[in-house]
A and B are shown apart, each in its own frame.
Chain A
Amino acid sequence: MGQTMAEKLLSRHNLAKETVKAGDILEARIDGAMCHYHGSEPLHTLAQEMGFKDGMPRVWDTDRVFVLLDHHQPALSQALADENKLMRKVVDRLGIKCFHDAEPGISHQMMADYGLMRPGELVVGNDSHTISYGAINTGGTGIARADMFYALLFGELWFQVPQSIKIVLEGTQPNYPIAKDIILYLAGQHGDDFAGSKSIEYSGPLVSQLSIDSRQCLSAHGVEVGAKFALFPCDDKTLEFLKTRTDKPFEPVAADADAEYVQEIHLNVDTMPFVVAKPNQFGNVAPVDEVRGVKVDQAQIGSCANGRFEDIEIAARMLKGRKVAKGVRFIISPASQQVYLKCLKAGLITQLIESGAQVVTPGCGVCQPKVGYMSDGEVCITSTTRNYKGRKGSLNAEIYLGGPLTVTAAAVAGKIMNPKEVFNEL
């Protein structure tokens, strides 16, 4: 019997050097560990609780631990400034070489920007959206600090080999991003945990048309449908993306033709409507026409799902010759400094600001309450990752999730509308 991508990837990393299949439990060697702000104070405290009074006694490989002060850079409070200071000391003491300290941005995007993970690798991170590394054929998955403590000491961790779901994407990429609509649509059709603990493998004729930005959106959102991995094949676009980012060797992973899947889902995007997730769950999905006319107070583009160049480009393109509706706060946060710079050089930022949008520091802020708190009764439409109650502050604010085009349409119209109604050139 052939192997899925997950089976092959985990077999390669199995310390026992045996082939593993779905359901098996193994101890695996890891290729990289991403620690964002939780790499500092909480891990440090945990190490102290374990009796190591100076904190973590070591990391297994100072080249393979990546520390990024993403969520909290620049420091948004005194407490965070103090934590960041502690983290600098910790990194220094442990001799960790890759430390992105004075640079705002989302850790996952920076990992990609700087080529810190590669196809075929197994990389853990103390954040749920580490799964987004699947976009470039990396077995990325989230853990939390107790697992990270073990992983950092030994470069090893236990895993259960997941079953796999094959998602076959068909149809044609229109001239605007649709990755968010794809994953929301799937969550609406199959439930918000349809990939619970499983590995998603994307395939089909649409895949080669999808940009790396779109793949990162789909892989990031793997966790919103419960997945452990969300993997894309390594193709020409992947290699092109990596060319300027890494010179280290790598061995991509591909599924065998006779690999076994627990489910196969086909989606033809040509017949897919624009969709949104209504408050307060990712799977609470409806065609955008069903919520037509809902007034919005805030619209947002950003996060590790949709803060990339193509997400910001579509907003700028649609805003050309148009204005953000009076009273709507349209907040745009590039996912990283590199993304920001690319947008700036392409003239997108000028367009956005001239049309009345706000462009804020790269990072996680817009995805959390930190940047742009909502008040009671207000409505936000956002391309960020989550719409749980309180995610933007007030428990009585309503959050809709949509793709960057749908968000921009709402920002222009002042209410949720089908983008095709607002932008007749589409």
Chain B
Amino acid sequence: MSFDLNKLIRGRVWKFGDSIDTDSINPYYLYPTMEELKKHTMESYRAEFPKEVKPGDILIAGRNFGCGSSRPGLVLREVGIAAIVVESASRLFLRNNIARAIPIFLAPGITGIIEDAQTLEVDYPNGVVRNIATGASVPLRKFPPLIERIFQAGGLPHVARARYLAEVGRTQP
């Protein structure tokens, strides 16, 4: 699924704290299939999240989001989260989401300008996130061109596929 960074994203906010771990985002030790994971993601922090999250919602969190095991946020995309906007993300979680073109944005100060259930607008081209109700905004970090290209391609596997096919002189796998 390719992701267009230039598209504006607007959605209702779910707000979480610091150091949210991947065991909570993706508790696959307990629930190995995606169908089960969707029913339990983030429940260790907010039991209502998997029941009430709607496609198009935005997840906000504090620093060190996605610490712990190496698992991308595929389940968050599956339940419809349109963007993840955090103070900071764990290195692996950030990397893994870039590799899957899952929209994740670093916006230091974000937790100070928005509350749960308010509407947030993510404006990547202009490098800003805004609280629609209050007008408050903070800048978001632009990605270097190499990472923007990975998003554009729909993730690193797509980049790999194209490079491999070009190398072996084929158009189809």
Q: CB distance A196 to B157 under 8 Å?
A: no
Closest residue of B by beta carbon distance from A71 = B29
Most-contacted residue by chain A among B88, B100, B161, B172 (CB, 10 A): B161
> Are A57 and B173 in contact (CB-based, < 8 A)?
yes
Report whether B24 and A389 are in contact in the complex, using a CB–CB cutoff of 8 Å: yes
Q: A390-B24, A390-B27, A390-B30 are in contact. Are A51 and B95 (CB under 8 A)?
A: no
**When the two chains form the complex, which single residue of B23, B67, B159 contacts A391, counting CB atoms closer than 8 Å?**
B23
Q: Are B19 and A386 in contact (CB under 8 A)?
A: no
CB contact list, A357-376 vs B, under 8 A: 368-370
Q: Distance (Å) between the CB of B100 and the closest chain A CB?
A: 5
CA distance A46 to B99 in the complex (A): 12
Given A193-B67, A370-B29, verify A150-B19 contact (CB < 8 Å): no
Q: Which residues of B contact A193 (CB under 8 A)?
A: 19, 63-64, 67, 88, 90
In the complex, whether A127 has a CB less than 8 A from a CB of chain B is yes
A228 at the interface (CB under 8 A from B): yes
Docked Cα-Cα span, A146 to B156, in Å, equals 6
B51 to chain A, nearest CB (A): 16
A1 at the interface (CB under 8 A from B): no
Asked if A154 and B160 sit within 8 Å, CB to CB, the answer is: yes
Interface residues on chain A, number (Cβ under 8 Å): 45
Q: Is A53 an interface residue (CB 8 A)?
A: yes
**Number of contacts between A and B (CB, 8 Å)?**
119
Task: Give a binary string over B56-79; 1 marks a CB under 8 Å from any A CB, 0 the rest.
Answer: 000000011001111110000000
Task: Please tell me if the beta carbons of A390 and B70 are within 8 angstroms of each other in the complex.
Answer: no
Chain A 116-152 interface 0/1 with B at a Cβ cutoff of 8 Å (1 = within): 0000000000111000000000000011101101100
| Contact flag A127-B70 (CB < 8 Å), given A192-B19, A226-B90, A390-B24 | yes
Chain B CB within 10 Å — which of A128, A146, A153, A368 has the most?
A146
A128 touching B68, Cβ below 8 Å: yes
Contacts of B21 in A (CB 8 A): 281, 386, 388
Q: Is B157 a contact of A46 with CB atoms below 8 Å?
A: yes
A96 to B24, CA, bound (A): 34
Q: A53 vs B44: C-alpha distance in the bound complex, in angstroms?
A: 38
| C-alpha spacing A50/B30, complex, angstroms | 28
Could you tell me if B160 and A150 are in contact, using CB atoms closer than 8 angstroms? yes
The CB with the most chain A CB atoms within 10 A, among B69, B91, B95, is that of: B91
Size class of B's contact patch? Answer: 35 or more
* A278-294 interface bits toward B, Cβ cutoff 8 Å, 1 = contact, 0 = none: 00011100000000000
For residue A158, CB closer than 8 A to chain B, the reply is: yes
**Neighbour of B96 across the interface among A79, A147, A228, CB < 8 A:** A147
A114 at interface, CB cutoff 8 A = no
Asked whether A226 lies within 8 Å of B67 as measured between CB atoms, the reply is: yes
Residues in A neighbouring B64, C-beta threshold 8 A: 192-193, 196, 226
Nearest CB to that of A395 among chain B residues? B44
Q: Are B157 and A128 within 8 A (Cβ)?
A: no
A223 within 8 A of B: yes
B82, chain A: closest CB distance, angstroms: 20
Smallest CB–CB gap between B136 and chain A, Å? 25
- Alpha-carbon separation in the docked complex, A52 to B172 (Å): 9
**Shortest distance in angstroms between B161's beta carbon and chain A's nearest beta carbon?**
5
Per-position binary interface string of chain B over residues 12-43, scored 1 when its CB falls under 8 Å from any chain A CB and 0 otherwise: 00000001010110010110100000000001
Please name all residues of chain B whose beta carbon is closer than 8 Å to the beta carbon of A127 when the two chains form the complex. 69-70
Instruction: List B86-128 residues whose CB lies under 8 Å from chain A.
Output: 88, 90-92, 94-96, 99-100
A272 at interface by CB-CB < 8 Å: no
A143 touches B72 (CB 8 A): no
- Which residue on chain B has the smallest CB distance to residue A147? B99
Q: Is A197 an interface residue (CB 8 A)?
A: yes
Chain B residues with CB below 8 A from A282, complex form:
19, 67
24 A-B residue pairs with Cβ-Cβ distance under 8 Å, sorted by A, are: A46-B157, A49-B157, A50-B160, A50-B173, A52-B173, A126-B70, A128-B69, A142-B92, A144-B71, A147-B95, A153-B160, A192-B67, A193-B19, A193-B63, A193-B67, A193-B90, A196-B90, A197-B91, A227-B91, A228-B91, A388-B24, A389-B44, A390-B30, A395-B44
Excluding A50-B173, A369-B29, 4 further A-B contacts by CB distance (< 8 Å) are: A144-B92, A144-B99, A149-B157, A389-B24
Interface residues, chain A, with chain B CB atoms under 8 Å away: 25, 46, 49-53, 57, 79, 126-128, 142-144, 146-147, 149-150, 153-154, 158, 160, 192-193, 196-197, 223-224, 226-228, 281-283, 368-370, 386, 388-391, 393, 395
